[in-house]
Amino acid sequence: MNRILVFVVSVIWASGACAQNFVHQTEPTLPIGKSPGISNVCSLVGSVARIDVDNRRIQIGDRWLTFTESARFWQDRSIEKMRFLTIDISDIRVGDKIEAKHDKCCEKFATCIEWAKVQRAE
């Protein structure tokens, strides 16, 4: 009985880890504002107003957001029908459109950011 329980718990745990990994792998392929269950629910979409590269902070509208050390950044090139590029915070410019995902989805007003997708301003 204990072996079956351990097996079932292991399968459930592994499937959760695989699902989370799948989300992290597919996220850079979805355009800004198109992530199911994340866009405008767990993320903030807007234009970059100011950037503080040294402190890893970006202002979107009137909110300052801090990026975690492990935060990932992608350049959304879906309009050009091109693949996303991995970029650095220093590649982001004032005026760029950005979607930044809160580190903890349930905290709508969290200031720590896990990842961001950026679309170059024209």
Higher pLDDT, 35 or 37: 35
Please name the residues in contact with 102: beta carbons below 8 A apart, sequence gap of 6 or more. Answer: 42, 43, 44, 108, 110, 112, 113, 114
Please tell me the CATH superfamily of domain 31-119, with its number: Copper binding periplasmic protein CusF (2.40.50.320)
Name the least confident of 18-22, 38-42, 52-56: 18-22
Domain residue limits, the chain: 31-119
Q: In the predicted model, is pLDDT for residue 48 greater than 90?
A: yes
Q: Would you say how long the chain is, in residues?
A: 122
pLDDT digits (tens, 9 = 90+) for 67-99: 888 888 888 887 778 888 888 888 899 999 998
